[in-house]
Structure 1
Amino acid sequence: MKDVELKKLLLAGVASAVIGTGNAAAQEVEPAEVVAEEDKRLDTIVVTGIRSSLRNAMDIKRSSQGVVDAISAEDIGKFPDTNLAESLQRITGVSIDRSNNEGNQVTVRGFGPSFNLVTLNGRQMPRSSSLLSDGIPRSFNFRELSSELVSGVEVYKTGRADVDSGGIGSSINVKTARPFDYDGFTAFGSVKGIIDTSVESGDDITPEISGLVSHTFANDKVGVLLALSHSDRDSHRDRAGTQGWVRNRGQNIDTSNIDNGTGSWWAPWTADLDSWNTERTRQNGQLVLQFAPTDRIEATVDYTATRFEQTTEMNRQSLWFDSPTGTPDANGTLVNPIEVTDELNFWAWQFYEKIENDSIGLNLEWQATDTLSFELDVHDSTSKSNPDGVTSERLANLANPGKVVDYTADFSGDIPVVNVDDSALAGGAYNPANIIADLFQTRGYQIENNVQQVKLAGQWENAGTGALTAVNFGVQSTKYQVDTKQFGTFAFVTDLDISGLGLTFNETGDALDEFGNASTLFPFIPQYSANGFINLTQDQDLFFQNAPSLNGVEEKTLAMYFSADFETEFNGMGISANAGVRFEDTDVTAYSVQPAIENLQYWHEEEIQLVTGADVAQSLSGGYKRILPNFDVKADILDNLVGRFSYSRTMTRSGLGNMFPSTTITQRRPGDTFRASQGNPGLLPYESDNFDVSLEYYYGDASYVSAGYFQKYVDNFIGQSTEIRTIADAAGNPLTDPSVDPGVGCPSDVIPTAACLNRPDQPVINFETTTTTNQGSAEVDGWELNVQHMFGATGFGAIANVTIVNADVAYDIRQIGGNRALTGLSDSANVVAFYDKNGLQARIAYNWRDEFLLSGGNEPTFTEAYGQIDANASYEINDHFTVFVEGLNLTNETVRRHGRYSEQLIDAEQYGARFNVGVRAKF
């Protein structure tokens, strides 16, 4: 027994010596953190747990050139959080966006998802989506990748010549396991039940299963690794809000109270109450083969696949402010809109997302001589959304007939309060006998995004004397191709027989409990299926599908880089530096294929319909060359005090949807402002000159404090501008307004009806056209403050960090049009407390993010400040089995978004708390 205890103490001492920070005061590593595993060849010490993960991340930060933060897995298959984005938000300067109560994209130093490049094992990954609200995305969505298959994440906050361009905010590299990372046979498995307290339709408990098997053969010259993950989740959310706010909408508006500098006022489109039920399935797989025929050659072939499928059924009780009256407040917000002789609306939606990602790659490493090495990396990766061609959004609306309902709303509180006068309808507005079919719509994207890259890199190490230690060089070719189909069909079907629809109503109950009973908004919410509605239109020969419009972008980039590493001493301080430059030459070709506009038809009293003809193709091209230098210097001022200075130039390419040359008419309601949007393939990328200064004091084992200041000067700032333009039809004549002096029998729901088409004698339409342009420069600066402390050998530890970000460009809510601002810019903070000793690990974390601009344009959307508490705990039963429980959003926080002013509510959403309970095994 004494020998066993002595061996444990010796192992603990060796581990402490290997991983210690060099501080004589470093704390002893607890024996609970050290697991000795014996294989055929040697005794291997595997250090696991929260503390070891934080230590590994700290060591990466300390040893890196430039400003780099990292997260390491706490054990095989055990990442700190169940979602990668939720782990990343613990890093100073990183905050996240959430979708369906899951982290999906990240913001770094105030720069939103589109400003951050995410790579997988150093390779650019494509992304696709099918929802119109997502646009045509570049930025990686972390919800599609299981955290159990990730071994680490590195966040490069400063640019480097050898790191792919594209991230002004950061470049984030996600690393997965390789068989040569382990000795001999290694396996882990995890089974958990996802308990979602929000579920109203579906299963309260759903499974998530993951596992990895790795083995090396032939004296470790051959390795194979297979990792798989499957996750199901059902969830629910409640929402109250509007479909946005419209400037100068309404009639007989009393503007006497307005004091906003513009004289404008804003009215809500709608007042809504939603019920969302979602089913999600995520599957990940990775197969990796490695071969090392000699000590100087190593080859890796890997295949990574992810499958993501999500279906959401949503029902909405709503009313529409077509011609509101009322008195705006001082900000110009019509907080008390009044609508007379209208109707209630009863909506059903189905959202369907199916995303398939596949990546195959080859990596060759060759140590040509003792000082010269080369690496060749090739991969072909594709992301497809809705590859089966199923339209991703289907929606239907029912309404009261005859427009005899009056209503008012009060938007001065947390959620709108609605009063409905339906006395003119015998039996009331919610009586199915007083509800008829109104319209259906299908829409969405089908996207195929492909990235092909070839990279040849080399390194020469100086075996002699002198400050120069290494020279790095490389060349890379990247082809980025995205092809999209955009679907859109809209039709009024007021003659549809809905007797077989099965319409019922649910009481709203305690939806949005933070604000009290939601029946103050609407007492009931409709229950029927959008698919069922559309099936009825097909059965009754009322369904049709418009041909999709086609858009695409091809970017070809040739990059070359060169950098040098140096090490020296100055006044007793160890100095290390890296200086490099990256050159990139990018050619861009964008195309659009869309039906030509033949006419406009006064189709319905609330809509002017496009009458289209044959498809017309457009193609435009552009290009740019950029030189991206970097210089990083690190000084070991004292044994445990590190100072840094970094300069780099980075860039972020324009959003893909901004470059399509097509013109889209976005709003065509009679009596309203006509609006359109047009792309700009000639956009130049954002460029940023970045400066970083920081101090880091490492005072104990896995304990340190750091303070950093950063400044970014952004050129070629991309923003939206609005111009008044006319739009020509296929014959080259400007479109006119068919709702002014329409023909007999107009509006008409029949297409086409000659009497209702626009005529040359009608007024020419001046479209308020939004386009994207390069608009100058912006300056962003901020502070990152972080402390990570271990309380001796107690097992307790804590982390606290805060990021403060400022910019000289912000959305000016008192300016109409021409705004340019950074989306995602906000302060953030984290507080984490944990315990890790004797096989027990527990952690509680609070993450807070201040208000930020979610989207700009003519009318902005702001996400209000949000904080969330998460917690997890695990216990190691023995060397092989661990049980765990995890809790997210424990206090059921509310996500709120508003328009130009805080009283212009857009969304108030609640998701409920979520728990995971399971067991993890490793061998």
Structure 2
Amino acid sequence: MKKTNKLLSVAVATAMGLSVNVSAQDGAEEVTEEVVVTGIRSSLKKSMDIKRDSIGVVDAISAEDIGKFPDTNLAESLQRITGVSIDRSVGEGNSVTVRGFGADFNLVTFNGRQMPTASLGDGASPPSSRSYDFANLASESIAGVEVYKTSNPTVASGGIGSTINIKSARPLEAPGLKWTVGGKGVMDTSQNDSTDTTPEISGFYSNTFADDTFGIAVSGSYQQRKASVNQANVGWRDGYLGDCDFAGEWGALPRAECNSWNQTGLHQNQPGDGDVYAIPQNADYALADIDRERVNGQVVLQYRPSDRLTGTLDYTYSENEIEVRNSSVGIWFNHEFTASAWTDGPVAGPLFYTEIFDFMPWQGGVTDLSYSGSLTSNISENASLGLNLEWEATDNLTLELDYHDSSAESKPNNIYGSNMSVGTTVISLREQSIDFSNDLPLISYIDNGINPEDPANRLASGSAFRNAQFRDDLDQLQLNGRYEVDQDIFAAGAFVDSIDFGVSLINNNVQSTYGFLQTDSWGGLGTPADIPDEIFTFESLPDKFDGIPGANDPGMLQGFYSFNFEQMVDTLEQQFGICSNSWTGTNIEGTCLANPTVDRRIKEETVAAYVQFNNTFDMLGRDANLNIGGRYEETEVTSSALVPIPVGTNWAADNEFFLTFNDPIDLDFTTLNDKYHHFLPSVSFDMMPTEYTKLRAAWSTSITRPTYANLQGGTELATLFRIGGGFGSEGNPGLPPNESKNFDISYEWYYNDDSYISLGYFNKRVDNFVGTDVIKREAFGLTNPAFGPNADFCRAQVGQDSSAIRQCLIDNFDTIGDPADDPVIFDVTIPVTNDETATLEGYEFAFQHNFGDSGFGAIFNYTIVDGDFAYDNTKSYRDSQFTLVGLSDSANLIAFYDKDGIQARLAYNWRDEFLAGNGPNPFYTEAYGQLDANLSYELNDNWIIFAESINLTGEDRRGHRRSDNTVTFSNPGEPRYMIGARYKY
């Protein structure tokens, strides 16, 4: 993996992130401070002025010009802000972390309105996140983005990390005719088998009429992108030490003192009783080709019949279609006769892991090399219709009525489902291995003379068609007001200059459905003649991972034959009915779309009221500002869940057990209700010790509501389980929100018109923090065919080997769970509330400097976060831990030039290693830095040409579990180039 720290020496030339603050109260006026001068420097100047004049800690990014946001993607722009980092999906930013709090802890609003969210992720499981997917929005129609880091009673609650408000343009705020149109070609060098250049087109029109009393603004964009993500993946299971007399204890390593396994000396430096480790379950090389189309549009109508009344009607629509075609080759471990070497404990990682089948004649002395083709093809649609009336009722009283009806939906965009995979296999491996000594895990094998890479030897194997859908409907009514206190009338005016107040009603209805069709023939189906050779295409592997240490190792698997997904499905449907046979599940006729077996619905009704008292007074001969207020919210939660009820179990393969269901599947619907309320106080203060410095302090209480997954009722079990048991999960509709007590203090020095230094400290004390616990229990009366009278009989006949026991059951009984068998024990993961208070604190440093009239400038910001949320890797996976996903330090280093019509920018963004997933098996994303660049030239007052690059140096990415050697993914990075032109009037 390329090391990101090598760029620190180059980072002085690193690009631009706009780190600025926005007033919570004067947002409309800030937008009208437009656009006589445009470009990087003017945008930074306006942003700095907003930062200096704001109340509380509110950072923002403003458009550099009409239709010109600093980055193509909103998330990519947000990462330039101090304390903000992003997560990427298929090479593009899609969610944000603010001050260590991940996407589910940040509330996104659009023009001050709470927005619904819908994202299927990979489409392979029921969706459940509140996280907003920024990949749905293009940036060309956005006027600005505000990040409220401190709570404000006037702003909707729900974000402990932040509330992020996306602002669109309003025609009456910038009167007159303005329009722009632009286009660019995008070349993503990650593409595997193509050098296609894809288009991005955008346009914006705004005009006012009738003496600027009526205005219309229309914006739209179309973007297409083709890219590839090549990734090595390793799946893991928690390791344990087996008994010396049980050679078939699946997944175990032999103890150092054991000789009965005939493996003496094959396991080097193996973990001991006190060590925590994991062993590889499977590994593959996956080549994913991505095709995305994004359409955005907005229409805004404004009418101002008098100076005291303004009406705004707006409609916003976005559509994001994404298709991912994935081809992979991989191995699966049975964990019987193995060899390995390990790093030292207490958290041990493998140096290599090998399985040898020559010593397992009961399995035929071979295992398989598996091939998979998968398709993820989904569409996300967002629509919002809103009406806003702003009325200056008197010289002292201003009222605002705002209503919107919005929806977000993600669903499959094909006849197969949201995520589908079809497998083929060649059973000819005598030995299989993974070498973990490089950044890239190296898969290798020895065959028995039958070439496993020859398509002519392939059998069809298992398949899975998953159908996930998610819809969120949200309507909100707000009444906001401000009363300017007349000090000549009210004595209280000596202490209060103005009062902000308001009420809000929100109805949020969420539905998540999921179903699947599955063929569990992973050991092979039919004969090689069932699959025509012409649907296969050879894929070379070393060049797909070029640049990652290990990719040029001659021992690495050199290539494989991928296949066309649709042709393979058609072939296997004709041969075996993989979509329509009743034993795969119940499909919608004529398709491979599974009927939903999970239907989860959540309704949240929230009533809120707030008041804030504002006062400006003299301190040390200068103005000081004090804002004191509070917000009261009451929420009713109704959670209904329809989940499948398994009726039995089946020992389907050597080490694979599956739950079985009736046809049609038995379903159980349950409904639970709960209610909670919170009062959220807030105090903000700022003063100017000198003419050019500002001191700020803020204290507040904020909340974040639990994820939909945590609220959803019903118990869901994984359909696949192992000889030792299975896994499941369930939610808890009664979970209270996380509640945080927040304290912020900062010092800012504005030492010239467009340069400043700021230093801030923040502290958050979080109660009701939701973690996970694992409970071992039985479920639905399910039994394990590997442990019972029949299995005991077979064990007495053939010994302890699990493969031999299963074959004995087939020969003498069956492999179906019997009521007399032992129960299956499931590790059920449940959300639990931490009784303790967890503390997070951090420091933010920001520096912005312009070098006089030279046109050159630089920005640097760094955020340090720390807290009680670190995961203890030395604890067993059965120990409950409370952690925070996404906690990490981050930094930006930026250089720019803006003069005489030439603009140039380099932006380097760095994020330290962070916990990317918790629960019993944590995994981490390693530290990553990325260099972006852009250059533009104004040909005249109307025409601008530009070029941009994302990930200019092609940085790689990697993740691991508790040990660095337990790699979960490793993929190379490639730059993306754009060139285009824009016309403005």
TM-score after normalising by structure 2 = 0.86
1:809 matched to 2:869: yes
CA shift, 1:530, in A, is: 2.9
Q: 1:728-767 residue pairs with structure 2 within 5 A?
A: 728=780, 733=781, 735-737=783-785, 741=790, 755-767=814-826
**8 Å contact from structure 2 (residues 179, 204) kept in 1:** yes
753, 759, 773: which is aligned to 1:721?
773
Aligned residues: 873
1:372 matched to 2:409: no
1:386 matched to 2:414: no
CA shift, 1:842, in A, is: 0.5
874, 899, 903: which is aligned to 2:961?
899
Q: Cα deviations across residues 442-497 of structure 1 (Å, max 9, x unaligned)?
A: 11411111111000111101233534111011110111111011122221353352
Task: Name the aligned partner's letter for residue 872 of structure 1.
Answer: N
Between stretches 106-115 and 56-65, larger displacement belongs to 56-65
- Number of the residue aligned with 1:29: none
Task: Name the aligned partner's letter for residue 479 of structure 1.
Answer: N
- For 2:630 and 2:472, the matched residues in 1 are separated by 29
632, 636, 641: which is aligned to 2:688?
636
- Number of the residue aligned with 2:610: 561
Distance 1:168 1:44, change over 3 A: closer
- Number of the residue aligned with 1:522: 557
- For 1:173 and 1:420, the matched residues in 2 are separated by 53
- Number of the residue aligned with 1:511: 544
1:770 matched to 2:822: no
Q: Cα deviations across residues 382-423 of structure 1 (Å, max 9, x unaligned)?
A: 11111667511110111113x54311222122122233110x
**8 Å contact from structure 1 (residues 393, 443) kept in 2:** yes
- For 1:252 and 1:375, the matched residues in 2 are separated by 68
396, 415, 418: which is aligned to 2:422?
396
- Number of the residue aligned with 2:747: 695
- Number of the residue aligned with 1:915: 977
CA shift, 1:246, in A, is: 3.3
- For 1:886 and 1:260, the matched residues in 2 are separated by 53
- Number of the residue aligned with 2:72: 82
Task: Name the aligned partner's letter for residue 883 of structure 2.
Answer: A
Distance 1:483 1:133, change over 3 A: closer
Task: Name the aligned partner's letter for residue 101 of structure 1.
Answer: G
CA shift, 1:134, in A, is: 8.4
- Number of the residue aligned with 1:531: 566
Distance 1:246 1:398, change over 3 A: farther
**8 Å contact from structure 2 (residues 728, 828) kept in 1:** yes
- For 2:433 and 2:204, the matched residues in 1 are separated by 59
CA shift, 1:829, in A, is: 0.6
- Number of the residue aligned with 1:124: 114
Ranked by relative contact order (alpha carbons within 8 Å, sequence separation 6 or more), the top structure is 2
1:681 matched to 2:733: yes
Between stretches 661-670 and 770-779, larger displacement belongs to 661-670
Distance 1:218 1:134, change over 3 A: farther
Task: Name the aligned partner's letter for residue 461 of structure 2.
Answer: D
Q: Secondary structure at the match of 2:657?
A: strand
Distance 1:560 1:692, change over 3 A: same
Distance 1:454 1:230, change over 3 A: same
- For 1:771 and 1:389, the matched residues in 2 are separated by 34
Task: Name the aligned partner's letter for residue 888 of structure 1.
Answer: I
**8 Å contact from structure 1 (residues 245, 899) kept in 2:** no
Distance 1:737 1:632, change over 3 A: farther
**8 Å contact from structure 2 (residues 349, 964) kept in 1:** no
**8 Å contact from structure 2 (residues 276, 874) kept in 1:** no
- For 1:205 and 1:389, the matched residues in 2 are separated by 25
- Number of the residue aligned with 2:431: 406
Task: Name the aligned partner's letter for residue 766 of structure 1.
Answer: I
Q: Secondary structure at the match of 2:294?
A: strand
1:345 matched to 2:375: no
- Number of the residue aligned with 1:480: 508
**8 Å contact from structure 1 (residues 298, 366) kept in 2:** yes
- Number of the residue aligned with 2:645: 596
Distance 1:156 1:598, change over 3 A: same
- Number of the residue aligned with 1:453: 476
Distance 1:134 1:670, change over 3 A: closer
- Number of the residue aligned with 1:10: none
**8 Å contact from structure 2 (residues 292, 321) kept in 1:** yes
CA shift, 1:121, in A, is: 0.7
- Number of the residue aligned with 1:888: 950
CA shift, 1:734, in A, is: 5.1
- For 1:149 and 1:498, the matched residues in 2 are separated by 49
- For 1:134 and 1:760, the matched residues in 2 are separated by 31
Distance 1:770 1:644, change over 3 A: same
- For 1:634 and 1:134, the matched residues in 2 are separated by 46
660, 665, 686: which is aligned to 1:611?
660
- For 1:508 and 1:499, the matched residues in 2 are separated by 23
**8 Å contact from structure 1 (residues 343, 406) kept in 2:** no
- Number of the residue aligned with 1:425: 449
**8 Å contact from structure 2 (residues 369, 429) kept in 1:** no
Task: Name the aligned partner's letter for residue 206 of structure 2.
Answer: S
Q: Cα deviations across residues 882-909 of structure 1 (Å, max 9, x unaligned)?
A: 0011111011101111011111011111
- For 1:908 and 1:74, the matched residues in 2 are separated by 36
**8 Å contact from structure 1 (residues 501, 532) kept in 2:** no
RMSD (Å) for aligned C-alpha atoms: 2.3
Q: Cα deviations across residues 806-853 of structure 1 (Å, max 9, x unaligned)?
A: 012211101123121110000011100000111111000111000000
Q: 1:464-503 residue pairs with structure 2 within 5 A?
A: 464=487, 466-493=494-521, 494-496=524-526, 497-499=530-532, 502-503=535-536
701, 708, 718: which is aligned to 1:666?
718
CA shift, 1:81, in A, is: 1.2
- For 1:380 and 1:164, the matched residues in 2 are separated by 16
CA shift, 1:754, in A, is: 9.9
- For 1:56 and 1:525, the matched residues in 2 are separated by 55
Unmatched 5+ stretches in structure 1 = 1-20, 22-42
**8 Å contact from structure 2 (residues 119, 133) kept in 1:** no
- Number of the residue aligned with 2:292: 280
634, 640, 647: which is aligned to 1:585?
634
Distance 1:389 1:684, change over 3 A: farther
Distance 1:483 1:612, change over 3 A: same
Distance 1:261 1:584, change over 3 A: farther
Task: Name the aligned partner's letter for residue 420 of structure 1.
Answer: Y
CA shift, 1:746, in A, is: 9.9
Task: Name the aligned partner's letter for residue 913 of structure 1.
Answer: P
Task: Name the aligned partner's letter for residue 82 of structure 1.
Answer: T
**8 Å contact from structure 1 (residues 198, 913) kept in 2:** yes
- For 1:642 and 1:436, the matched residues in 2 are separated by 71
CA shift, 1:261, in A, is: 7.3
- Number of the residue aligned with 1:705: 757
CA shift, 1:573, in A, is: 3.2
**8 Å contact from structure 1 (residues 667, 676) kept in 2:** no
- Number of the residue aligned with 1:336: 352
Unmatched 5+ stretches in structure 2 = 1-20, 22-32, 241-249, 257-267, 358-365, 488-492, 587-594, 795-803
- Number of the residue aligned with 1:572: 621
Q: 1:298-377 residue pairs with structure 2 within 5 A?
A: 298-323=310-335, 325-327=338-340, 328-330=342-344, 331-339=347-355, 340=357, 341-377=366-402
Distance 1:685 1:754, change over 3 A: farther
- For 1:757 and 1:676, the matched residues in 2 are separated by 21
